[in-house]
Amino acid sequence: MAADQANSRPTRPPALRDVAVAAGVSHQTVSRVVNGNPRVLPATRERVLQAIEELGYRRNHAARALATSRTRVLGVVVVNTRLYGPSGTLLGIEQAARQAGYWVSVASVPEGDATAARDAIGHFLDQGVDGLAVVAQTEPVLRAAQQAAGACPTVLVTSGPVEPTDATTRAGLVRIDIDQAMGVGLVVSHLAQLGHRQIAHLAGPTGNLHAQARLEAWRRHVSTAGLTLGPLLQGDWSAASGYALGLTWANAAQPPTAVFAANDTMAQGLLRALHEEGWEVPRDVSVVGFDDSPGTDQTIPPLTTVRQDLEALGKACVEALVGLMEGFPQAGVLLPPGLVVRDSTARPPAAH
CATH of the domain at 275: 3.40.50.2300
Summarised one tens digit per residue, pLDDT across range 129-168 is 999 999 998 988 898 888 776 678 899 999 998 876 554 4
- Rounded CA gap, 292 and 285, in Å? 20
**pLDDT attached to residue 13:** 67
We report the CATH number of the domain holding residue 48 as 1.10.260.40
Judgement on whether residues 53 and 92 belong to the same structural domain of the protein: no
Judgement on whether residues 105 and 144 belong to the same structural domain of the protein: yes
Query: What is the side-by-side order of every strand in the sheet holding 338-340?
Result: 228-234, 198-203, 258-261, 286-291, 304-307, 338-340
- Rounded CA gap, 75 and 128, in Å? 9
Whether 123 is in a domain gets the answer: yes
Query: What is the side-by-side order of every strand in the sheet holding 103-109?
Result: 103-109, 73-79, 131-135, 154-157, 173-178, 333-335
Whether 66 is in a domain gets the answer: no
Judgement on whether residues 80 and 143 belong to the same structural domain of the protein: yes
What residue type is assigned to position 191 of the chain? L
Does the pTM of the predicted model rise above 0.75? Answer: yes
Count how many domains the chain has: 3
The parent domain of residue 84 ranges over 71-178+310-335
Whether 64 is in a domain gets the answer: no
**Per-residue pLDDT in tens (0 to 9) along the chain, 352 residues:** 444 444 444 455 677 788 889 899 987 888 778 766 677 888 888 898 888 888 877 654 444 443 445 678 999 999 888 889 999 999 999 999 998 889 999 999 987 788 899 899 988 988 889 999 999 989 888 988 887 766 788 999 999 988 765 544 445 788 999 999 999 999 999 999 999 999 999 999 999 999 999 999 999 999 999 999 999 999 999 999 999 999 998 888 888 999 999 999 999 999 999 999 999 999 999 999 999 999 999 999 999 999 999 999 999 999 999 888 888 877 788 999 999 999 999 999 875 4
What is the maximum alpha-carbon separation in the chain? 88
Judgement on whether residues 268 and 302 belong to the same structural domain of the protein: yes
Whether 65 is in a domain gets the answer: no
Judgement on whether residues 78 and 218 belong to the same structural domain of the protein: no
